[in-house]
Chains A and B, each alone.
Chain A
Amino acid sequence: MTPRLHAKARLQRDEVRGREVLLYPEGLVGLNPTGAEILALCDGARSLADIVATLERRYGASGLERDVTTFLDGLAAKGLVVYGP
């Protein structure tokens, strides 16, 4: 499972509000720093397992898979994230 952003969606800095946002046709989602970090790792090359491992290393934590999956599934339900093989 390799998550990536759908081509219609763009991850971008919202300077005025000091946060990252995901922009797409007729809508946007404001992201917290963790969400932005997860999406930045969804480059179409890293697998879901790689992304979770990277974050766990970065934070010295374990058991992040469920949080990451819930976040990405939420965006996938909106068609903003797609899963490759």
Chain B
Amino acid sequence: MDPRPLWLLAELTYKCPLQCPYCSNPLDFAGPRFRRELATDEWCRVFREAKALGVLQLGLSGGEPTLRPDLEELVRTAHRLGLYTSLITSAYRLTRERLAGLKAAGLDHVQISIQGADAELSDEIAGTASYRDKIAAYHYTRELGFPVTVNVVLHRRNLHQVEALIRLAESLGAERIELANTQFYGWALHNRDALMPTKGQLAAAWQVVERERARLGTKLEIVWVLPDYHEQFPKPCMGGWARAYMTVTPAGEVWPCHAAGRITTLTFENVRDRPLDWIWEHSEAFNRFRGDAWMPEPCRSCPRKAQDFGGCRCQAFLVAGDAGATDPVCSLSPDRHLIDAAVAQVERAAQVERQPEEWTYRAAPASRALATKG
């Protein structure tokens, strides 16, 4: 069987104490589709099946994965299987004792999000007072000997803090900082007009990144996730559809990436009904966009198709209304004007110094209200 997956993102729960307006979780995370969370033994079976299929990297994510009381047991199982296991957490109320227990269970790496470089902005963006817990948790992880990644989602309201964020990560002794420009899916797409940065903001931030990379070398790895709306060509999303990644949602649906569940023209299988290897190899959703036979023009005859795989299927669906279209971010796409219009609107608003749009915080009541509206 080829390709085989290397990565599994296990979204253990969609419950989360934070309310970040760019959350990548589905808008209807509080709805019936995700209500019946997998039990401990079901997750352990998923991990075993994933390892047998070829997975080596496991991300334990959410929502907030530390809300699962069985997290230690899940980590222990993953560790015994030889999966390199990362915890992807907000660190809200995460204690030193809990982290020490996770270390003993075999957790390899901790990624802690932060929303801004200071308490005031970080807590405002998160919608929940959490900055102090995060800083404390960074210190605990260092004391316990974990490698640590600082993850920051960048957008219009915090891009000016890139330098302060890098300095903060450096002072905390982190190995990596991921500066991830907002990708517009889920809540981020819903809040796009409030989150989209200006070209000037991005250019200034990029200058800082280049300078700081030269200064820090291997001491702190700075990962810059491109703001794809401002690029000429699409990102090689997930390294190609169903080539290396899969996501299992809290209730057991299996997706080729963490945003794919929004594509209503695909049917997704559930680990409760099928073994993982069958889903990877035979399911309709995983095969639909595998390889390049599905590609329309301009992708089909494009020399870049082996590099970018036609871009992102979710973005094609969400923006152009067709998951089988060329990623509208591509300058060769017939739908590129839709992206240009969104970018231009933000530039115009910035020129007249209008306040950015208000955003909707990611929270269960808003999720249910949006689901009712359809």
Which residues from 1 to 42 on chain A have a C-beta closer than 8 Å to any C-beta of chain B? Answer: 7-8, 10, 12-14, 16-17, 21, 23-28
Collect the chain B residues with CB atoms within 8 Å of residue A49's CB. Answer: none
Q: Is the CB of A77 within 8 A of B56?
A: no
B residues 263-321 near A (Cβ < 8 Å) are none
Q: Which of A21, A25, A76, A78 is B56 in contact with, Cβ under 8 Å? A: A21
Please judge, given known A-B contacts A8-B147, A12-B82, whether A79 and B218 are in contact too, CB under 8 Å: yes
Considering residues A12, A26, A28, A79, which has the most beta carbons from chain B within 10 angstroms of its beta carbon?
Answer: A26
Measured between beta carbons, the chain A residues less than 8 angstroms from B149 are 25-26
Are the CB atoms of A16 and B218 closer together than 8 Å? no
Q: Which of B6, B54, B175 contacts A25 (CB 8 A)?
A: B175
A14 to B111, CA, bound (A): 24
A25 to B84, CA, bound (A): 8
How far apart are B246's CB and chain A's nearest CB, in angstroms?
15
User: 1/0 contact trace for B76-105 toward A, CB 8 Å?
Assistant: 000000101010000000000000000000
Chain A residues in 8 Å Cβ range of B86:
25-26
Q: Which residues of A contact B147 (CB under 8 A)?
A: 7-8, 24-25
> Would A8 and B56 count as touching, CB distance under 8 A?
no
- Contact yes or no, A17 B54, CB < 8 A: yes
Measured CB to CB, the nearest residue on chain A to B148 is: A25
Q: Give the complex CA separation of A24 and B108 in angstroms.
A: 8
Q: How far is the CA of A78 from the CA of B109 in the complex (A)?
A: 17
> Chain B's nearest CB lies how many Å from the CB of A78?
7
Q: Which of B4, B108, B145, B175 contacts A16 (CB 8 A)?
A: B4
B53 within 8 A of A: yes
Q: Which listed residue (B84, B145, B218) contacts A78, Cβ 8 A?
A: B218
Q: Which of A7, A16, A28, A76 contacts B84 (CB 8 A)?
A: A28
The answer to whether B57 has its CB under 8 Å from any CB of chain A is: yes
Q: Are A26 and B56 in contact (CB under 8 A)?
A: no
Q: Is the CB of B52 closer than 8 A to any CB of chain A?
A: yes
Bound together, the chains give a CA A28 to CA B82 distance in angstroms of 13
Q: Decide: B221 and A79 in contact? CB cutoff 8 A.
A: yes
Task: Give the interface SS of chain B, mostly helix, strand, loop or mixed.
Answer: mixed
Query: Residue on B with the closest CB to A27?
Result: B57
CB distance from B74 to the nearest CB of A (A): 18
Please report the C-alpha to C-alpha distance between residue A69 and residue B145 in the assembled complex, in whole angstroms. 28
The answer, among B4, B6, B53, B175, for a CB contact under 8 Å with A79, is B175
Q: Does chain A have a CB within 8 A of B362?
A: no
Within 8 A of A (CB), among B109-133: 109, 111
**Minimum CB–CB distance for A4 against chain B, Å:** 15
- The listed residue with most A CB atoms (<10 A of its CB), out of B54, B56, B175, is B56
A10 touches B84 (CB 8 A): yes
In the bound complex, how far is the Cα of B337 from the Cα of A37, in angstroms? 53
Closest chain A CB from B365 CB (angstroms): 34
Complex Cα distance A17/B5, Å?
Answer: 11
Given A7-B147, A10-B84, A79-B218, A25 contacting B52 (CB threshold 8 A): no
Query: Which B residues are CB-close (under 8 A) to A28?
Result: 6, 56-57, 84
List the A side residues contacting B53 at CB < 8 Å: 16
Q: A7-B147, A26-B149 are in contact. Are A14 and B56 (CB under 8 A)?
A: yes
- Given A8-B108, A13-B82, A26-B109, 4 more contacts at CB 8 Å? A8-B175, A25-B86, A76-B218, A79-B221
Chain A residues engaging chain B, CB cutoff 8 angstroms: 7-8, 10, 12-14, 16-17, 21, 23-28, 76-79
Chain B residues packing against A (C-beta within 8 Å): 4, 6, 52-54, 56-57, 82, 84, 86, 108-109, 111, 145, 147, 149, 175-176, 218, 221
Q: What are 24 residue pairs bridging A and B, where the CB atoms are less than 8 Å apart in the complex? A: A7-B147, A8-B108, A10-B84, A10-B108, A12-B84, A13-B82, A14-B56, A16-B52, A16-B54, A17-B54, A23-B57, A23-B84, A24-B147, A25-B109, A25-B149, A25-B175, A25-B176, A26-B109, A26-B149, A26-B176, A28-B6, A28-B84, A79-B175, A79-B221
